[in-house]
A and B are shown apart, each in its own frame.
Chain A
Amino acid sequence: MRYLPKSPADREAILKAIGARSIDDLFAPIPAEYRLNRDLKVPRQMAESEIVDWFRERSRENGDGYATFLGAGAYYHYRPVIIDSLISRGEFLTAYTPYQAEISQGTLQSIFEFQSMICELTGMEVANASMYDGSTAAVEAVMMAARLTGRRSVVTARSVHPEYREVLATYALHQGMPLAEAGFSSSGRVNLKELEQKITDQTACVLIQSPNFFGTIEDVAATAEIAHKHGAMLVVSIAEAVSLGIVEPPRQADIIAMEAQSFGVPLGFGGPYCGVIATREKNVRQMPGRLVGQTVDRNGKRGFVLTLATREQHIRREKATSNICTNQALIALMANIFMTIYGKVGLRELAKQNLAKAAYAAQQFGKHGQVLFSAAARFNEFVIQTSEDPYAINNRLLGHKIVGGFPLKKFYPELGNAALWCCTEMTSRSSIDTVAGLLAESERSVKSSKETDVEEVTR
């Protein structure tokens, strides 16, 4: 086996040194009746070239070469090549959690820079070293709010990503946290009136997402005011991190739970991604996850360490703020490099291109369907209601090597034929125009079949 650095002679020498007759001696603690005396039924050992071929075949079967209009919590942005050049360095790739600070300063300083940039972008005072993803970060933020307020229940906007809400439901059930939901208004934003009605004196927090699942930017200030009036916290989830380049961050929030996938992390069929939690300094001791802090060594030289570990499971065990241990350090490093590349000016320009592409697409598609929720501002996603079933439209688009928008009926049956479309800097005008053409055809064919129906009825 090519990964194993021992010759048969080495193995013999080691067995001899240990004083064992054979390798079986070392497995003697396992009761004989359970020992596996056959080969595992897994594929035979493959050469590297065979492995590459096998996965190339799988890659070809997996939408390789399609343009996509899908967003909905996972975004296709350009990944500058130096991200992979740098994260492929073995010193980053093959290190573990920086418990031994003296030989982990590279990882520690980069996490410190990540935390700092997340603070700059979110307008918060502290950010952690990362969480699993946006969905679990949102849930951990909610549980954090419950600890901070001493209250148990949560009011969630239905305009929060449906899968995030499903994850929250899973966790909340066993935490004894009652959940209530508030619907959305005709602007696509959370219905503030309904939200306020759902808040009780036991509400720990209100959870919204902005831009929300429909791409609409929520009125964070108004939502915060309502939550705070009732002694609840406001948790804001951000699924499309690039929005922070041009959309005012939810500064009125008490806790922000982010998905940083848009910052240079491949779509990768849903993961690994990079969650992160940011908040006010006063809340830091209830924050889950690892944190890096600045300090000095014995000679007064600046250095970085994991800090405030007394919140964490390896110290506090069942009284910890969370059971999280491993986070997403390498993915956070991707995000860190991405933020560094685009920086203060580039991130805004990038966000502006997203805004412009989505605005153009919404305008073109809107000629052959109805743009929903148009009363409120949005970033790079929008909802189009068509006469025809969006699954049927998407099927035809596949023939043009285009993946269409996300049909919303799966999560919002009341929205009928509405679909959520996303444009990023990667979306070309020609693919937008191709889709617009197909939407026009779809509109015509539905209209003519209706006319035929009418004629038939009259006859």
Chain B
Amino acid sequence: MKDMIRKATSHVNQNEGLIFEKSSPGKAAWKLPPLDVPDVDTAKLLGSAERKSLGHMPEVSEIEIIRHFTRLSTWNYAIDLGMYPLGSCTMKYNPRVNEVVSRLDGLANGHPYQPEKISQGALRIIKTLSECLIEITGMDAITLQPAAGAHGELTGLLLVRAYLQSRGHPRKKILIPDSAHGTNPATAATAGYAVEHLKSNAQGMVDIAALAAQMNEDVAALMLTNPNTLGVFEQEIAKIAEIMHAKGGLLYMDGANMNALVGKVRPGDFGDDVMHLNLHKTFSTPHGGGGPGSGPVAVKKMLEPFLPKPVLITKSDGTLGFDYNRPQSVGRVRAFYGNFGMFVRALAYTLANGPDGLRQTTEDAVLNANYIRKGLDGTYDLPYPTPSMHEVVFSDKLQAKKGVRTMDIAKRLIDYGFHPYTTAFPLIVPGALMIEPTESESKEEMDLFIGAMRSIAEEVEEDPEMVLAAPHTTRVSRLDEVAAARKPVLRWKPA
């Protein structure tokens, strides 16, 4: 099937050891200016607190560092190289103007404690982004303090807890659908709540009868991802909100999949009380190999008094400032004000789009997922026929007959020049292939992807062993993860 691999070709890449293996005494990549104050006697100043040795820290030159990290970088796949259809991760284009504006001197070098009167630029950015996000979500207030999605979830549940506490009792449980991301139950536990799982119905949606049966005065909130992790919009959302509210509970929305909704529908309009956004998903800030993220939390009016402090306000003289006097606040969830650099990028993205661009983006994201679905339906098993929004979930049921599982197909996809989709998630689909193309893919790139996936399905029939041994074109073949966990080697040590 090798002639089917149209996107990728093999090319030479460089070997590179660990940086420690290039080190030798006397090499240096640094130069300090002459000291313009009197030199000091470190022994006298520090006494026994003086450090004697920096161990095995490396000593290398600048060109070696450039080559080291450049070589390492060529071993990575990235959005800049091609389609990266990791479901629920929203791997969209990361605009370069975002990077430029976040590095402007006043923004990059602004100290979080500098006086407010010389911080008006940063505060204006926070305010403008806040206003945009409130409008996009249809909520009433927002905090940008949480550092990532899971941190936003925690903040959201702390708000729920504080609100319910103010009305008498924080309650005991959080309801979480069995299709949820693992952070949801982990977050509920961190917020001091017990987790109760909610089974999905045959369409992959919340089972309304089950919800009604499980909802009672012990339940603080339902954490719902909408569209859910199958990429399915919860059509009974009004009913869901009604059931929660009737018994005094709240509806928390995990905004991981907001890329399916921006400009088309607002969670605040369909009964959501509190939600987080992932600026590194929906709002294009770079994933950077696993962070930084940013997880703003938007809320309805009744939760506003409990937002983490400080809260941005417009003062009587028209300037912006922080209000620390928030007696009902849940407190702080992070030092300073959050991942400000990500606010700059997310706002640059929003300004580059405007209302028309944001809507077109959402439409294209949904259009792309449905194109992939159409192209692969039949070749791969589609466990839930419910309409897809921004992502589509297949299963490996057809290929499993030949002993080939979702992870094997994923590894073979690497040979075709693509990053794999999300494997084995959501848990309600055994052997899941969760595919989210985002709006950033052209028709040509998607045609290549569909062609690759169909070709792999043929390979599974003709030569399953070859697929099981994939990838065949990478620097390293499949790595021994069991050995890595059994006898962990977590750092370099001199031989």
Total A-B Cβ pairs within 8 A = 680
The residue in A284, A293, A403 that gathers the most chain B C-beta atoms within 10 A of its C-beta is: A293
Q: Are B158 and A46 in contact (CB under 8 A)?
A: no
CB <8 Å contact, B19 and A345: no
With an 8 A cutoff between CB atoms, is A428 at the interface?
Answer: yes
Judge whether A271 is part of the interface by a CB distance below 8 angstroms. yes
Which of B52, B334, B386 has a CB less than 8 Å from the CB of A133? B334
Do the beta carbons of A290 and B190 come within 8 Å of each other? no
**Which of B118-126, B209-217, B397-405 contacts the other chain?**
B118-126
* Complex Cα spacing A74 to B110, Å: 10
Interface string of B40-83 (1 = CB under 8 A from A): 10100111111110111111101001101111111111111100
Is A317 touching B186 in the complex (CB atoms < 8 A)? yes
Q: How far is the CB of A300 from chain B (nearest CB, A)?
A: 10
Q: How far is the CA of A130 from the CA of B108 in the complex (A)?
A: 21
Q: Does A370 sit at the interface, judged by CB under 8 A?
A: no
With beta carbons under 8 angstroms apart, the residue of A291, A298, A318, A339 that contacts B195 is: A318
CB contacts (< 8 Å) of A393 on chain B: these are: none
Determine the chain B residues whose CB is within 8 A of the CB of A324 once the complex forms. 148, 150-151
CA distance A246 to B42 in the complex (A): 8
| A252 and B195 alpha carbons, distance in the complex (Å) | 38
Kindly identify which residue among B113, B182, B288, B340 contacts A72, using a CB–CB cutoff of 8 Å. Answer: B113
Q: Does B106 contact A (CB under 8 A)?
A: yes
> Contacts A136-B147, A268-B108 given: A244-B120 contact, CB under 8 Å?
no
Confirm or deny: A406 has a beta carbon within 8 angstroms of a beta carbon on chain B: yes
With most chain B CB atoms within 10 A of its CB, the pick from A58, A337, A350 is A58
Bound: A59/B419 CA distance, A: 37
Contact A323 B190 (CB under 8 A): yes
Q: What's the interface size class on A, roughly?
A: 35 or more
C-alpha spacing A170/B147, complex, angstroms: 15
Does residue B342 face the partner (Cβ distance < 8 Å to A)? Answer: yes
Which residues in A have their C-beta under 8 angstroms from that of B465? none
Q: Which residues of A contact B385 (CB under 8 A)?
A: none
Contact B389 A268 (CB under 8 A): no
- Given A89-B70, A105-B476, A161-B335, is A174 in contact with B94 using a C-beta cutoff of 8 Å? no
Chain A neighbourhood of B296, CB < 8 A: none
Q: Mark A305-324, 1 if CB is under 8 A from B, else 0.
A: 10111101111111110111
Beta-carbon contact of B338 and A107 below 8 Å: no
* Nearest CB in chain B to that of A69: its residue: B111
A208 within 8 Å of B (CB atoms): no
Cα distance, A185 to B483, chains bound together (Å): 50
Known: A23-B363, A121-B54, A347-B57. A296 touches B331 (CB 8 A): no
Given the interface contacts A34-B270, A174-B191, A313-B182, does A115 sit within 8 Å of B72 by beta carbon? no
Docked pose: A41 CA to B352 CA in angstroms? 14
Residues of A within 8 A of B48 (CB): 248
Please name the residue on chain A nearest to B84 by beta carbon: A96
Interface contact B186-A320, CB-CB below 8 Å: yes
Out of A132, A269, A432, which one reaches B107, CB within 8 Å?
A269
Q: Do B334 and A132 touch (CB < 8 A)? A: yes
Contact assessment for A343 and B414 in the assembled complex, using a CB-CB cutoff below 8 Å: no
What 17 new A-B contacts, CB under 8 Å, besides A68-B111, A298-B477, A346-B32? A36-B263, A36-B264, A41-B135, A56-B101, A100-B410, A106-B75, A130-B291, A271-B336, A292-B490, A297-B477, A301-B477, A319-B189, A341-B65, A345-B59, A356-B39, A377-B45, A429-B36
Across the A-B interface, the 9 shortest Cβ-Cβ residue pairs: A330-B288, A270-B336, A45-B354, A90-B80, A59-B106, A62-B121, A64-B106, A61-B121, A270-B112
A–B pairs, 27, beta carbons within 8 Å: A3-B352, A27-B265, A28-B387, A34-B270, A35-B265, A36-B269, A40-B359, A51-B101, A56-B101, A59-B105, A59-B106, A68-B114, A74-B336, A88-B99, A90-B79, A91-B78, A93-B78, A102-B474, A120-B54, A133-B334, A266-B103, A268-B110, A326-B150, A329-B290, A341-B30, A345-B28, A428-B36
